[in-house]
Structure 1
């Protein structure tokens, strides 16, 4: 009998995660989402709608009942991941394995200020200068202090996912030259002031220098036979470069040693000059993990599920340095 895996409200590229899970033929995959036309609906074996608005307590109750009613063996949460980690023992009581680490470390890593405070005390890890503010006057002071030292300043909300709130302050985004720049992440300082002025106190924002070098995204999984670590050098185009840089792998190992995550995660660094700065850890599989798996010939979702079930499997990374990309294909809903 196939083991049942449930993914709750994942992003669209999780289509590829489900596809990799189903390759072995061992799993029956259930998906749920608030969006009626999520692409995951087309690849999951079963599909259900999720409640769109409910309290934390109500959502945990929904998840527990869902697991029980659908005989779920493995729960791979995305929505409310931190909340679910706090109640992981409730799922274990009904024999459901949850692919999330302990709340103590998850709550730190999913709060950008807390994670920076944590890693700035780790020898060998470089953390960027940063300020956390919730009032306009403090934002302006932070901006002035940073712009005196660095060419560009950026910001995003402390609690954010996928960089939705990320903005680069660009005071040259107007005029003819601006027509050649991608604008959706750029704002002039005047526009930022106008937006923040609407709130006397706003959700905490982290203000920091814009790190102008390469961004490295490392898909990771700790196993009994060692760490899976595959670094992708990201670009502004639709391709990424796989590069097993020894310094990056050493820094990634240092990060993993200091958090001891058992579930898949994604560690990010970004360069300023020759220095790689720690950006963040996503405490779940990244949106680009399928490109990592394709390039390295390793099925991270499958290895992770088997590990969680207490059935470790052998794996081997093909450490070839390649450029990898992806294309979008149309899907029809009936």
Structure 2
């Protein structure tokens, strides 16, 4: 049986787990996994059979690098993270060489999802789920007005860039901070309004920020699997508990939100809906049109999200999947000897 060649461009360290989940698939399909990253010692590359460095390029030049890599290594499936929008924009270049790209091809939708401000506005109009009170600002005076409006409504306030990943740039406004205690304590996400306003006032404008109500309830990541047409096949709500504990549990209102998102936006393959409760109501934080950082934990339900997306992209039949009951999970560090990749096997592809 011919091996299926699968390529990951620059991913997070957890891609190590995605690669192994695909490799150890339940159908016994043989795969060969390729990966590139600027750092040849990056942890994600430890899950690859063949790995190499990638250049610091953007736009069409980066896309051309990926196309050349896929052509020379006869890649069947490309699972991108870095420069996803540029890759989606030029998906036809991959079609021309026979490489299937696991990316949302609805460019307007993808652009909107990647900009939280635009997406919140669209979700608010659709009414398919609740969103926090928020303002999008790009000047210090707008920031001040947004903060005062939210505070007047009784909200604790936080802010983060409209275009970012994970917790980058997230701050909580806390006017009761003790700078001396923080100096001797852990690095914190808290900042006073005066300090934030002073920093933002130092420039005429800045990249757009979302200033929003701080939600204090449980936060859930709903890992979703859909076919290439966006038909929902699986959804697993996952939340952090104390310390390293993670809980996958059936929450009907969150599962219904996943269904409505799928029906409305038809996002293909793997994606993640982040919700957080406020006043007993789940409210949207963001949608990531890719595998989430904790997806490998959700796979403990028995649903192999990364492989089933690959199987669907290859034209295989994937049935809707559910998990039986709630699962409590955790993790511990496991030391390992790093494997040094031989880049000579793909030298032509990365030069």
* Shorter-normalised TM range: over 0.9
Q: Does 1:321 align with 2:322?
A: no
Q: Which residue of 2 aligns with 1:227?
A: 233
Task: Look up the SS of the partner of 1:265 in the other structure.
Answer: strand
- Structure-2 residue corresponding to 1:86: 89
Q: Name the SS for the 1:79 alignment partner.
A: coil
Number of residue pairs aligned between Structure 1 and Structure 2:
332
**Kept after mapping to 2: 8 A contact 1:154/1:169:** yes
Q: Which is worse superposed, 126-135 or 223-232? A: 223-232
SS of aligned partner of 1:120: helix
Give the Å deviation of 1:3: 0.9
Task: Give the conservation status (yes or no) of the 8 Å contact 2:220–2:239.
Answer: yes
Q: CA deviation at 1:314?
A: 4.4
Contact persistence 1:244–1:319 (CA under 8 A): no
SS where residue 125 of structure 2 aligns? Answer: coil
Which has the larger displacement, 36-45 or 131-140?
A: 36-45
Kept in 2: contact 1:4–1:27 (CA 8 A): yes
Label 1:236 to 1:110 Cα distance change in 2 as closer, same or farther (>3 A): farther
- Corresponding residue for residue 106 of structure 1: 110
Q: How does 1:58-77 map to 2 (within 5 A)?
A: 58-77=61-80
Rounded to whole Å, the distance in 2 between the matches of 1:301 and 1:258 is 23
Mapped partners of 2:133, 2:236: distance in 1: 27
Cα distance in 2 for residues equivalent to 1:233 and 1:169? 24
Structure 2 distance, partners of 1:217, 1:15, is: 20
Partner Cα separation in structure 1 for residue 197 and residue 13 of structure 2:
33
- TM-superposed CA distance for 1:14, in Å, is 1.2
CA pair 7-59 structure 1, distance change in 2 beyond 3 A = same
Aligned to 1:14: 15
Tell me the residue number matched to 1:2.
3
State the partner residue of 2:220. 216
- Partner residue of 1:150? 154
2:255 matched residue in structure 1: 249
**Distance apart, 1:124 and its partner CA:** 4.1
Distance 2:187 2:214 in 1: 16
Structure 2 residue runs of 5 or longer lacking an equivalent are 341-351
- 1:118-159 Cα offsets, whole Å, 9 max, x none, are 100123411111111111111111111111113410111111
| Distance change >3 Å, CA 196–CA 31, structure 1 → 2 | same
CA contact (8 A) 2:58 2:83 kept: no
Q: Which residue of the partner structure matches residue 167 of structure 1?
A: 171
Deviations 1:296-329 (A, max 9, x none): 1111111000100111244643321122112222
SS of structure 2 residue aligned to 1:268: strand
Q: What's the CA shift for 1:56?
A: 0.6
* Cα deviation 1:250-285 (Å, max 9, x = unaligned): 122111211011221001111111111111110001
Normalised TM-score (structure 2): 0.89
CA separation of 1:237/1:195 partners in 2, compared to 1, >3 Å: closer, same or farther? farther
Q: Report if the CA contact (8 A) 1:108-1:114 is conserved.
A: yes
Aligned-partner SS, 2:269? coil
Q: Superposition pairs for residues 190-205 of structure 1, below 5 Å?
A: 190-205=194-209
Matching of residue 127 in structure 1 with residue 131 in structure 2 = yes
Consecutive unaligned residues in structure 1, runs of 5 or more? none
* Aligned-pair CA distance for 1:205: 0.7
Which of 296-305 and 121-130 deviates more? Answer: 121-130
Contact 2:78 2:100 in 1 (8 A): yes
**Aligned-residue CA RMSD in angstroms?**
2.0
- Alpha-carbon offset, residue 31 of structure 1: 0.8
1:176 to partner: Cα distance = 7.4
